[in-house]
Structure 1
């Protein structure tokens, strides 16, 4: 989504990874590590009002707070991918109705198992497969929007669709 300029955040305002050049995200998970690596800079430039951290999580994640002395007005926004990111593939494949029927028959069926068994996508959890599958930004955006339409959003919950232009 970043590479295709599909996010609501202008590319020039995205803070890159501290270690890998041009990577628009970090793999760090601890608030204290993120604060140490990124909070030494001033982000109040060219109309920006400071730093916002967008976390993409697969559930209502546990509390994520920066050390009080380092917060500096930083906002943390959690974008939830529940029930699972594989639901995007189910939507992209046009299989949402089949998914609904399958889960009525088997309440324990997980999205990744459905993708493997019913859609023949055995490598659904592998990075290389996912990068190739989602190389078309338009396909990903369409799946995210379809998923948002069928998701039951909890009060004030942010979804991936909220990151899109």
Structure 2
């Protein structure tokens, strides 16, 4: 992916933000902090709130909103005023960002048999606490090569819908 103008990167939760911060800090994304609308990740799930907080200023460039989330159904509809200036792209981490941890622990097939949510599997089977917290995820994936490997592996083993984007699509070198 290549972005013209600004990028507003909205992370659904703390774990998603930790992943994106690590990728950004290690120059592994197809954009840099200079491209970011606010110079860092945004935590805002409401389109109306996003408009009021971030789009009330005048911008010469276009803005691409990247929403890092696990839900395929969650809507983010901006008002008609921004239709030509702002595009919205969903980066889907379904079923949950914790899948990257399961992949790293080489427990994907065990997880598939378990019928648990990824975060539950991490807690009960892998005995990992705080898997949804920023500090845990940031520390766990402090080796950026481990994170990149897990993103690649997730892309390989996942069933990704047509016209759907994942973290893999944001990497500088997929």
Q: Same fold by TM (over 0.5)?
A: yes
- State the shift of 1:43 in Å: 4.4
Q: Residue 116 of structure 1: CA displacement?
A: 1.9
Equivalent residue number for residue 135 of structure 2: 128
Is the 8 Å Cα contact of residues 5 and 11 (structure 1) preserved in structure 2?
A: no
Identify the residue that residue 42 of structure 2 maps to in structure 1. 26
Match 1:35 to one of 4, 28, 51: 51
Residue 114, structure 1, aligned to residue 136, structure 2: no
1:111-132 CA-to-partner distances (Å, cap 9, x unmatched) read 1222122222132223321221
**Structure 1 residues 11, 126: closer, same or farther in 2, change over 3 A?**
closer
Larger radius of gyration: 1
Match of 2:144 among 112, 137, 141: 137
1:123/1:62 CA distance change after superposition, 3 Å: closer
Identify the match of residue 83 of structure 1 among 76, 95, 112.
95
Q: Structure 1: 5+ residue runs without aligned partners?
A: 17-21, 45-49
Work out the number of aligned pairs and report it: 149
* CA-CA distance at 1:145 after TM superposition: 1.1
CA shift for structure 1 position 34 = 1.5
Please, what is the CA RMSD of the aligned residues? 1.7
Cα distance between partner residues in 1 of 2:44 and 2:60: 19
Q: Among residues 28, 35, 60, which one is paired with 1:6 in the alignment?
A: 28
The higher-RCO structure (CA 8 Å, 6+ apart) is 2
